[in-house]
Structure 1
Amino acid sequence: MDSNVRMIELTLQDLNASSSDITASALISSDGLPIATALPHDVIADRVGGMTAALLALGNRATRELRCGTMSQVTVQGDDGLIVLVQASPESLLIITAKHEAKLGLILLSARQAVKQMSEWIEE
């Protein structure tokens, strides 16, 4: 395993452990390929990658069509949880799932910190 990928995986594991509200995280390429994941065993990484790419495309199109600038994040709220997509680099996204009662601001803060920490390994 590439050492950069291993460092990203460790960062994702730390992110998941940083809050009892965070249930999973992954770094996905902009074309939907999983780069590194910290997902539950019953979640298929390739499926998460595909959904992430679709959400990215929709978010980009919506921000462009509605003249909202460049997309930086997408949030999806469900009855049982929250999905947050944050642009990690021009070619990658961080996806985080969290419990319904999670505070969005704290999740976004944790996401930004993780992206900052991973940035040296993402760019190489």
Structure 2
Amino acid sequence: MARRPGSGMRWLLFSVSGRLSRRAYAWAMLFWTVVLAIPTSAAVQAAPDSPAMTTAGFGIIFTFLPAAWSVAVMSIKRLHDAGLPGVLVGVLVVPAASFFMLLIIMLWPSFKGPNRHGPAPDHPGY
């Protein structure tokens, strides 16, 4: 069976179009947690002012930037799936509210049937 154009890991992690189910969102968030844990654990184990600490710091920077973009676009797709406006993703940058917004994004049920953002969850949009 041929893969749909625009689907795949690049669409899942970096594209803003379409909708994303709760399950796919949770798995993708777990993926980024594991990816970010690698340079973080290297930084914790490195001696202060060592080359390993510098390398781990660059690793954190270079993994955080794509992870931050990916979490933002995945959250937008998740909000689209719930029938909510994607602009609500801005709440994720408010420290006191971000935890509660992540819970809402994770737990809010999907909009049944097609909506203006796509035909079904886990598919690219129109």
Q: Report if TM-score (shorter chain) is over 0.5.
A: no
Q: Which has the higher contact order (CA 8 A, sep 6+)?
A: 2
Give the structure with the larger helix fraction.
2
Q: Indicate the structure (1 or 2) with the bigger Cα radius of gyration.
A: 2
Provide TM-score, normalisation by structure 1: 0.30
Higher strand share: 1
